[in-house]
Structure 1
Amino acid sequence: MTDLLITGGLVTDGTGAPERTADVAISGGRIEAVGDLAGRPAAQVIDASGCVVCPGFVDVHTHSDLTLLSNPYAQSKVRQGVTTELIGNCGLGVTPVVGDLAALRGAAGYLDLDPSVAWDWSDLPGYLDVLAAARPAVNVASLVAHIPLRAGVVGFGDRAASPEELDRMCGLLGEALDAGAAGVSTGLMYAPLTFAHEEELTALGRIAASRDRLFAWHIRDYGDHLLDSVREVLRVAEATGCRTQISHLIAVGRRNWGKVARALELIDAARDRGVDVAADVYPYLAGNAPLSQLLPAWAQAGGEDAMRHRLTDASVRDRIREEWRDLPNGWPDITVSRIPVDRPGVEGRTVADLAEDGAGVVLDLVGEFGNAVMMVAGGRSEEDLLAVLRHPATVIGSDGQALDPGGPTGAGVPHPRSYGCYPRLFADHVRTGRLTLAEAVRKCTGGAAARAGLADRGELVPGKAADVVVFTLDRIGDRATYADPQQYPDGIRTVLVNGRVVVQDGTHLGERPGRVLRATQEDK
């Protein structure tokens, strides 16, 4: 007997093929059959008449490395239909731990929302074992983050890696890839990666290519130097042959609007030359990052403690103020979204609203709290966003986190993408005709899984893992806003992870059937 039968839904299988009315049979946590299955006996039947039935959303760009340990129920993600997360993005990660743990934890402040989570690991296998023991509600695959590699081997200083240090970093990366990592990521706007030379990136790319793994890039600059930053990615991709992903491709600052179209032309030309490069994006006109990202690279050298001490020097602050006179964004575009203490009247307000001296506010907050202060930053163009969303080589990644609104990870005023990325895409871009249903589903499922190298996920095909979302197209939509982000979406009826129902009629059932996915032994 079939374990579960989903009947009468509009099946959109994640391959890009047109949707069709069909039934989906699931047994043993896998897709058993898709088609006209009337009369098939089943232990459980879900009537999906009037609903879309598609693969679970594969979030190819997330930062849930530690929040899934704080609360493995993955509330904000699974309730919007996410069934698989790829963590370790933007060069931000928690392994390997080489050298000073406190310094690494400070550098990863963007991930580290719950101080009670202990870092009881030293390498990727140890971390994945801890994650598996937590039994998350969603599946999780991991990239190897560049910050732990560089910080552990080279340190936090402004210098190039020596040949011996490059060999050591490449050795650590190779060990992690052989242990099951899906690839490597860099984040060239985050110290100490701001000091990494192209030679270092090429060396890492060659290791990724040798194992057919992904190299994901948070590029050096999304503002005035966007095109030069994209060219750097393409040079490394072409030199190494590695599968390459440009993370959250956007342009920041009104004076840079329109550059995304040129960036896509550069990507298309590289793809025509045989370079395996693509991009991801989320459907919002504002991003989220540590407030310290606004500091010039030289001010962040030496690690978080050195940065904070440096900001006590009046001459340093004056130098930063001078450099900030030409920022692509103004202070009205920057909202303080989280600080690690209860300070009423700060979170959720723009820097411009907090004080006439916006630069002083930012310098004070970073000086006091380091990388733990978060911002939501606007200044983006809807035309640029649409260009990326519609491009055939792009997929969707939330750039968010699995958050628990009732716990430590739900503090502050986080970016709404952590709660509403995927419902927002279907409400704003499918119902309005900007994207077809089949193409939007592909970008969220099969296309995203292919970029991450997750062969068992992202398609409703017999034999593949039964990660499934059932939603109502005319009702699906995000309720999370910038002012009130911690709201679950509408229209998500059912979410299955590995064949088990986790969300039903908007309610999390408390199930945690997710798996840690390893590239060498995908499901363990």
Structure 2
Amino acid sequence: MPGDLLLAGGLVVDGSGGPTVTADVLVRAGRVAAIGSGLSAQAVRDVTGRVVCPGFVDIHTHSDLTLLSDPRALSAVHQGVTTEVVGNCGLSVAPLAPGAPVGPIRQAVGYLDLDPAVDWSWPDLNGYLAVLAAAGPGVNVAALVGHLALHASVVGFADRAADPAEIDRMRGLLGEAFDAGAVGLSTGLVYAPLPYVRDAELLALASVVADRDRIFTWHVRNYDDELLDSVGQAVRIARATGARTQISHLAAVGRRNWGAVRRALDLVDAANADGFDVGVDIYPYLHGNAPLSQLLPAYAQEGGPEAWAPRLRDPALRAEIRAAWLDRPTGWDELTLSWTSRPAPDPVVGRSIAALAEAAGVDAADLVLDLLAELGNGVLMTAGGRSDDDLRTVLGHPAAVVASDGLALDPGGVTGAGVPHPRSYGTFPRFLHRYATDLPDAVRRCTSAPATRVGLHDRGLLRPGAPADVVVFDPARLTDRATFTAPHQFAAGIDLVLVNGVVTVDGGAHTGSRAGNVLTTSRA
């Protein structure tokens, strides 16, 4: 265990939302030993004028496989993240039904899969968590069960309802994953085959979540023209089952939909007023990040990427999809390719679809269809079309917490390819620097509030006895440096990061320590 360390004279923001106090923080044997004045230790750091707060708890990440590629979690820990929750948006790497082939599932969750050298060989969530623990993660990690792995490994990729026996099988797999310590279930109703899921399946799985007092997180069906119906579906399932529910990355896409988040939040408020538990999360950017295949109508994705990618060369299907895209809420100039599975550097990366189409002298829709026919899920994009007023509305809502929706990336390694969304490097400093008006409450939204949402009650607070996940930052220098054109840049102003009491970032440099733990509902 690490020795005693005294952080002396800092501005302590404990994560509860309570007032800032000037105090010393004593760290001993990996935990916070005391907070007060007149404390002593063999090792002392003078942090006068710096904010000392809990490590940030990022409850919405997609680091499932990148943490196995580089366990240091560099882009996360350099911005002060000490705990990540993986398995979001229905995209996870476990569990799979016994005997289900890994290949099609791995293709379907290609959004997570930036390093083909990662060996996906675990049989279930227990196996994945064991592999993750053996890798020695640089941050703490908890896992959600991704709905896609459940559904695809039991039902397959066809557009049909799960039958009662299949639903029972998925319920059993979900229960086993909860026994292994999963903190909840996530769904992502835009990722095939999940667009084909009916309410009966969602209700059955949500009832397991409710019975086990876990969280059900939702990447809803639609964030543009059908946002209200999509949020309404999640709230309806919450009301019917009592499952604690989280609406992921709540935003309204497309100028014609700006303002819809306020009405979506009205649905959340009404459910909470009636005694249900519905929260939301968001990242402080006006662009999203997604597989390019998310643009496809659901019917075009039947059978999974292995089947639908070659089908996209069919002239009749292409004509049907082009027609469906004529009234898109965002323009082709608002969509930029951020990564492909081709060898790096790929010249299309970092350029908008509109610019690429103009340079090639082709229709933008045809260019997109050609890319998807060639690469399937192996092409990612950043997408604009959002409103700063909407973002501030969500960030200011009492039920909202901050989460990155990013991945733990290594800027010098294989996961550092392309021009990914800068949220993987800058979410929490950006929020605190640009959007926070009440520092204690802002820190709470990055620490104890998200930890509580996912049942990690021993994280997100600076208090005696708590694990010493600690961030020390200079409020005068704190800022995000990652941009959409140069994203692989660590945040500024993060002076010290402790993970379970071990100094992991010191003066902006990584120490090489990997002191994270795999967290389960029985071990926070």
TM-score, with structure 1 as normaliser: 0.97
Alignment correspondent of 1:178: 179
* Residues 3, 43 of structure 1: 8 Å contact kept: yes
Name the residue aligned to 1:394. 400
Residue in structure 1 matched with residue 441 of structure 2 by the alignment: 439
What is the aligned length? 516
* Separation in 2, partners of 1:454, 1:85: 11
User: Counterpart of 1:325 in 2: which secondary structure?
Assistant: coil
Q: Is the 8 A contact 1:351 1:362 kept in 2?
A: yes
Q: Say whether residues 1:233 and 2:239 are aligned partners.
A: no
| Distance (Å, rounded) in 2 between the aligned partners of 1:327 and 1:443 | 34
Partner residue of 1:456? Answer: 458
SS in 1 for 2:263: helix
**Further displaced range: 339-348 or 151-160:** 339-348
Aligned residue type for 2:316:
S
Counterpart in the other structure of 1:42? 41
Q: Determine which of 367, 372, 380 is the counterpart of 1:374.
A: 380
Matches within 5 A, 1:161-176: 161-176=162-177
Counterpart of 2:316 in structure 1 is: 315
Contact 1:51 1:472 in 2 (8 A): yes
Q: Structure 1 residues 507-516 or 455-464, which shifts more?
A: 455-464
Q: Shift of the alpha carbon at 1:273? A: 0.3
Structure 1 pair 252–495 and aligned structure 2 pair: CA distance change class (3 A)? same
| Counterpart Cα distance in 2 of 1:242 and 1:16 | 26
Check whether the contact 2:192–2:302 (CA below 8 A) recurs between aligned residues: yes
> Is this contact kept in 2: 1:66–1:117, CA < 8 A?
yes
1:467-502 Cα shifts (integer Å, max 9, x gaps): 000001111001100000000110000000000100
1:483 matched residue in structure 2: 485
- Residue 143 (structure 1) shift: 0.2
SS of the residue 1:386 aligns to: helix
- Distance, in Å, in 2 between the alignment partners of 1:32 and 1:237 is 40
* RMSD, aligned α-carbons: 1.0
Which one-letter code corresponds to 1:55 in the other structure?
P
Contact 1:2 1:25 in 2 (8 A): no
Deviation by residue 1:195-237 (Cα, 9 ceiling, x = unmatched): 0111111111110111110100000000000000111011111
Residue 192 and residue 27 in structure 1: after superposition, are their counterparts in 2 closer, same or farther (change >3 A)? same
AA at the equivalent of 2:479: G
Ranges in structure 1 where 5+ consecutive residues have no aligned partner: none
Whole-angstrom CA distance in 1 between matches of 2:417 and 2:181: 32
Match of 1:408 among 414, 427, 439: 414
Q: Which residue of 2 aligns with 1:103?
A: 104
Query: For 1:322, what is the secondary structure of its paired residue?
Result: helix
Secondary structure, counterpart of 2:377 in structure 1:
helix
Query: What residue number does 2:51 align with?
Result: 52
User: Is the contact between residue 97 and residue 121 of structure 1 (CA under 8 Å) also seen in structure 2?
Assistant: no
When residues 147 and 344 of structure 1 are mapped into structure 2, their CA distance, relative to the original with a 3 A threshold, is closer
Q: How does 1:90-489 map to 2 (within 5 A)?
A: 90-98=89-97, 99-341=100-342, 342=344, 344-356=346-358, 357-430=363-436, 435-489=437-491
Deviation at 1:97, TM superposition (A): 2.8
Structure-2 separation of matches of 1:345 and 1:111 = 22
SS state at 1:402 partner: coil
SS state of the match for residue 517, structure 2? coil
- Residue matched to 1:515: 517
> What CA deviation, in whole Å up to 9, does each residue of 1:53-73 have, x standing for no partner?
000000010000000000001
Q: Deviations over 1:280-308 (max 9, x none)?
A: 00000000000000000000010111111
AA in 1 matched with 2:399: A
2-structure distance, mates of 1:521, 1:178:
12
Aligned-partner residue type, residue 391 of structure 2: L
SS at match of 2:43: strand
Indicate conservation of the 8 Å contact 2:310/2:374, yes or no.
no
1:28 match: 29
Partners of 1:10 and 1:52 within 8 A in 2: yes
Give the letter for the 1:421 counterpart: T
Tell me which residue corresponds to 1:73: 72
Provide the rounded CA distance (Å) in 1 between the counterparts of 2:234 and 2:130. Answer: 32
- The separation in 1 between residues aligned to 2:72 and 2:126, in whole angstroms, is 22
Displacement of 1:427: 1.4
Kindly provide the amino acid, as one letter, of the partner of residue 94 in structure 2. Answer: T
Give the match's secondary structure for 2:347.
Answer: coil
Work out the CA distance in 2 between the residues paired with 1:489 and 1:228: 37
Distance 1:2 1:286 in 2: 43
Secondary structure of 1:413's counterpart equals coil
Residue type at the aligned position of 1:60 = I
- SS of the residue corresponding to residue 427 of structure 1 reads helix
**Contact 2:340–2:346, Cα closer than 8 Å, also in 1:** no
**Where do 5+ consecutive residues of structure 2 fail to align?**
none
Shift of 1:319: 0.5
Once residues 442 and 50 of structure 2 are traced to their aligned partners in structure 1, the CA distance between those partners, rounded to angstroms, is 16
Change (3 A) 1:322 1:96: same
Give deviations 1:435-494, integer Å, cap 9, x for gaps.
310111000000010001101100001111110000011110011000000001100000
| Deviation for aligned residue 1:310 | 1.1
Q: Secondary structure at 2:27's aligned position in 1?
A: strand
State whether residues 178 and 520 of structure 1, in contact with CA within 8 Å, keep that contact through their aligned partners in structure 2.
no
Q: In structure 2, how many angstroms separate the alpha carbons of the residues matched to 1:2 and 1:404?
A: 29
- Residue 2 of structure 1 contacts residue 41 of structure 1 at CA under 8 Å; is this kept in 2? no
* 8 Å Cα contact 1:283/1:385 also seen in 2: yes
1:64 corresponds to: 63
- Structure 1 runs, 4 residues or longer, greater than 4 Å off: none
Give per-residue Cα distances to partners, 1:296-348, cap 9 Å, x unaligned.
00000101111112101011111000000111111011000001113643000
Identity %: 59
Q: 1:497 aligns with which of 484, 496, 499?
A: 499
Task: Give 3-state SS (helix, strand or coil) of 2:112's partner.
Answer: coil
| Local SS of the residue matching 1:217 | strand
Secondary structure of the structure 2 residue equivalent to 1:283: coil
Please say if residues 10 and 52 of structure 2, whose CA atoms lie closer than 8 Å, have aligned partners that are also in contact.
Answer: yes
CA distance in 2, matches of 1:520, 1:83: 19
TM-score, normalised by the number of residues in structure 2 = 0.97
Secondary structure class of the residue paired with 2:143: strand
Letter in 2 for 1:375: M
